[in-house]
Amino acid sequence: MDAPVLRVGVIGAGNVGGALVELLSDPSRHVALVDAATATLELVGVAVRDASRARPEVPTHLITTDAASLAARDDLDILVEVIGGIEPARTYIESALSRGTSVVTANKALMAEAGTQLAALAHEHGADLFYEAAVGGAIPILRALRSSLAGERIERVMGIVNGTTNFILSKMTSEASDYAPALAEAQALGYAEADPSADVEGFDAAAKVQIISSLAFGTRLAGESITREGITGVRAVDVEFARRAGFVIKLLGVAERVGETGISRRVHPAMVPLEHPLAAVHGAMNAVFVEGAKSGPLMWLGPGAGGYPTATAVLGDVLDAARNRVSGRHDVPFSIDETLHAIDTNDIASVFYLSLDVLDQPGVLAAVAGVFGDHGVSIQSMEQSGVADEARLSFVTHVARTGDVFATLNDLASLASVDSIGACIRVIDGGDR
Amino acid sequence: MDAPVLRVGVIGAGNVGGALVELLSDPSRHVALVDAATATLELVGVAVRDASRARPEVPTHLITTDAASLAARDDLDILVEVIGGIEPARTYIESALSRGTSVVTANKALMAEAGTQLAALAHEHGADLFYEAAVGGAIPILRALRSSLAGERIERVMGIVNGTTNFILSKMTSEASDYAPALAEAQALGYAEADPSADVEGFDAAAKVQIISSLAFGTRLAGESITREGITGVRAVDVEFARRAGFVIKLLGVAERVGETGISRRVHPAMVPLEHPLAAVHGAMNAVFVEGAKSGPLMWLGPGAGGYPTATAVLGDVLDAARNRVSGRHDVPFSIDETLHAIDTNDIASVFYLSLDVLDQPGVLAAVAGVFGDHGVSIQSMEQSGVADEARLSFVTHVARTGDVFATLNDLASLASVDSIGACIRVIDGGDR
């Protein structure tokens, strides 16, 4: 019998697509497939927007501008989609899946929005839908959740899943700099967009939390219930406070069980103890920290972006889909637990660090402390430092309900003696890990 | 059609086996299997040495002392072996595989010694042989190497794969203590054996390097070519020197490509820069740091031992073998690259930290420096500190050939003015990462 040839089409030849085509052109990278399924891969088409652009890594005769026709080819075994965004990516993917063509995508936005529906469509037509590269670039976290941890009960996932914000916070930590210059440096180096809001406001991290939590807990909860707090309010003084206390500030995406059927999902900055593995995730690196009921804590770390790293994750998915195809099977969608419901972030308890600038006058501290007391938020420690004719107050609370802390901040903002409210940062401590 | 029932036998009901039987008894942990293959698992026998011992987690009617007959049952789909050691484990596993029964094992020693042969036997009979739990406990590193990274070219693997030595070194670091009291504490807490040599001399780590490197590079090289240097020579002063220089001392298992066809494999203590992710692996945790040609650096971290963590890895393998079984396929052994050959550790270049105690006399430093010069080992920095009528010399070399450094130490030991040779520790720097 001749070795089967699996026909692969790629939509998108940018950073990731170009790297993938280069990897696919190297037969030594198919060895595992040849061994596992005595099959080979054949690249049959690469859809691009502008066919006139020079792409030395893509054979000219494979280039097409007709992505819709490539996705709809009846002889296609695997379609790779690396253009991103909701449309037209979704239409291409639906077209392929409904013909029984397996799909590999790196599309975070689309998988966060419609992953469950697309997975069901794939299953209906006996195809695979893999999207390892949509979260954490090269980090193989999604396959681990689907296979190695398939029999484990996940209790909590905490991820540093946005490289831009981790780069900015790492800069602020290593250079004791403020947010604005660190952002400017990230922009100059290409780590941050001209409009950085998708990253610094936590939208990107929230999409990844949506994808990870769907797999880790089997929820069908919509992404809208994930609350977001970004890093724009974090200042050099907060980073310095954290450092002195043995912490480092990270933007975390968190998804965790609350009781038997509750799931809390949120993105916010947090003070992570220096001895926690997440504290050692520097620069643009990503990491996902998973706590299983029986496995204990596990962490995956790696580059969260970049053409080649992301392309290796896509290639891993392509090889997996190819092996399944040869043996005539497909992976089924992850289990859905319909009993799970979203927990309001306001009802989550944590230790908080808060900082505010107040007028340096007698009685101010008493007024401020009174507001904390009004909301039942108990203060663990307070630090006062003078800045010109103002004073900066830094508080660490005892464990408090998030909603009560937010209400406290709201009331503090309306005190005449409070000049400005600074950061509001969760403190991840021993009990909260 | 009725859902197929997959029959599982377990040999061993100790720490790991008992935890596994408990997990297998919880149907919620089979949900992924039900979804993926509409199949269920049935535990049909648990082989133990002493049937009279109370095991509340194991139903009495399943207990047998006849492991050989359990392994040889014709109706068995999956055999789990968690007794460890070479024999009789190997005989049981061969018995099962030769009948086409898939095998899941946590047996590090056996897989290091005979993994390639047993994998071939499994393939010959259409069965799976999975052993995720043999390396790094709950950490799903082997499956990642087999699947997610199947298309990637791995350049280097560095692992903290022995929890006992990492516990001891972490203690020495956090408490500035010497080796002996840290070992005693590890023994008191059950982290180290009464005879700790398998751990502290690097035998255990070498077995894991053998298993990981086989998968990462596709080598068939025997474990004997892995060189071992343990941690018994590491002293509090070395840990303190490392701390001041921004490093932490770890016992690393290393496997790396050298040129096109060379593979160097070795176990030795190393100074790891504090900003390296491996530096944040504390206590009895394990971690594996993998550098891929295109993926960039990836790290996996988790508990390297313990009944439940190890059992979750075994369960992941059981579910995988079960899925394969239902779809009538099996994973094939990893690709072997016959061109690879072992590189002599003596020929590997590195920066070294060395310490020695010498008589505090004029001319001693000149004599010592002369020996370095004789072997072409260039000194980057030297520090001298007085200890009673002795002096302690700490050297950091420039990049030097390991064989030349060992020859230097050998000659230094025969100098009359040298009282004792202390640690010899590689320094992992930017260029060596």
Closest by Cα among B250, B148, B204 to A280: B250
pLDDT at B17: 96
pLDDT at A335: 80
Query: Do the interacting molecules here have an ipTM over 0.90?
Result: yes
Band the pLDDT of B432: cuts 50, 70, 90.
Answer: very low
> pLDDT digits over A389-427, tens only?
788 999 999 999 999 999 999 999 999 999 999 999 999
Would you call A151 and B312 a contact, using CB atoms and an 8 Å cutoff? yes
Asked whether residue B238 carries a pLDDT value surpassing 70, the answer given is yes
Q: Could you tell me which residues are beta bridge partners of residue B387?
A: B390
Q: B102-105 and B40-47: which strand pairing?
A: unpaired
Among the partner-chain residues B140, B149, B320, the one whose CB lies closest to the CB of A316 is B149
Q: Which residue has the higher pLDDT, A26 or A335?
A: A26
> pLDDT digits over A73-88, tens only?
999 999 999 999 999 9
Asked whether residue A433 carries a pLDDT value surpassing 50, the answer given is no
CB A103 within 8 A of CB A131: no
For domain B5-138+307-326, which architecture applies? 3-Layer(aba) Sandwich (3.40)
How far does the CA of residue B313 sit from the closest CA of chain A (Å)? 7
Half-sphere exposure of B190 (CA within 13 A, CB side): 2
**Residues ≥6 apart with Cβ < 8 Å to B152:** A29, A312, A315, A316, B292, B293, B294, B295
Q: Could you tell me which residues are beta bridge partners of residue A401?
A: A349
pLDDT at B382: 93
pLDDT at A2: 66
The residue count for chain A? 433
Asked whether residue A249 carries a pLDDT value surpassing 80, the answer given is yes
Asked whether residue A272 carries a pLDDT value surpassing 90, the answer given is yes
Asked whether residue A9 carries a pLDDT value surpassing 50, the answer given is yes
Q: What is the CATH number of domain B345-432?
A: 3.30.70.260
Q: Which of A148, A261, A274 to mutate to test the interface with B (most CBs of B within 10 A)?
A: A148
pLDDT at B328: 86
Q: What is the CATH number of domain B151-302?
A: 3.30.360.10
How many of the other CB atoms lie within 10 Å of CB of A235?
Answer: 17
Pick the CATH number of A345-427 from 3.20.20.70, 2.30.29.30, 3.30.70.1560, 3.30.70.260: 3.30.70.260
Tokens of A9: 């089409």
> How is residue A322 annotated by DSSP?
H
Closest by Cα among A287, A292, A202 to A248: A287
pLDDT at B2: 66
Say which amino acid occupies B75: D
For domain A150-302, which architecture applies? 2-Layer Sandwich (3.30)
The residue count for chain B? 433
Closest by Cα among B187, B159, B81, B143 to B334: B143
Interatomic CA distance for residues B139 and B132, integer angstroms: 8
Among the partner-chain residues A146, A299, A308, the one whose CB lies closest to the CB of B302 is A299
Q: What is the 3-state secondary structure (H, E, C) of chain B?
A: CCCCEEEEEEECCCHHHHHHHHHHCCHHHHHHHHHHHCCEEEEEEEECCCCCCCCCCCCHHHEECCHHHHHCCCCCCEEEECCCCCCCHHHHHHHHHCCCCEEEECCHHHHHHHHHHHHHHHHHCCCCEECHHHCCCCCCHHHHHHCCCCCCCEEEEEEECCHHHHHHHHHHHHHCCCHHHHHHHHHHCCCCCCCCHHHHCCHHHHHHHHHHHHHHHCCCCCHHHCEECCCCCCCHHHHHHHHHCCEEEEEEEEEEEECCCEEEEEEEEEEEECCCHHHHCCCCEEEEEEEECCCEEEEEEEECCCHHHHHHHHHHHHHHHHHHHHCCCCCCCCCCCCCCEECCHHHCEEEEEEEEEEECCCCHHHHHHHHHHHCCCCEEEEEEEEECCEEEEEEEECCEEHHHHHHHHHHHHCCCCEEEEEEEEEECCHHHC
- Show me where the domains of chain B are located: 5-138+307-326, 151-302, 345-432
Asked whether residue B198 carries a pLDDT value surpassing 80, the answer given is yes
Among the partner-chain residues A29, A302, A331, the one whose CB lies closest to the CB of B151 is A29
Q: 111-140 in A: which are within 8 Å (CB) of B?
A: 132, 138-140
**Residues ≥6 apart with Cβ < 8 Å to B164:** B186, B191, B192, B193, B196, B199, B200, B204, B284
* Whole-structure pTM value: 0.95
Asked whether residue A330 carries a pLDDT value surpassing 60, the answer given is yes
Tokens of B265: 């494999």
Question: In Å, what is the CA distance from A29 to each residue of A143, A232, A259, A319, B149?
Answer: 19, 42, 45, 9, 10
pLDDT at A432: 40
Tokens of B10: 């377990």
Element (H, E) at A427: strand A418-427
**Residues ≥6 apart with Cβ < 8 Å to B282:** A275, B166, B170
CB A303 within 8 A of CB A137: yes
pLDDT at B433: 36
Report chain A's mean pLDDT, rounded to a whole number: 94
- Using CA coordinates, name the residue in chain B closest to A328: B327
Element (H, E) at A109: helix A108-124
Interatomic CA distance for residues A28 and A21, integer angstroms: 14
Tell me the average pLDDT across B337-355. 96
Q: Which of A128, A248, A281, A299 to mutate to test the interface with B (most CBs of B within 10 A)?
A: A299
Tell me the average pLDDT across A316-344. 90
The active-site residue out of B171, B208, B250, B294 is B208
Report chain B's mean pLDDT, rounded to a whole number: 94
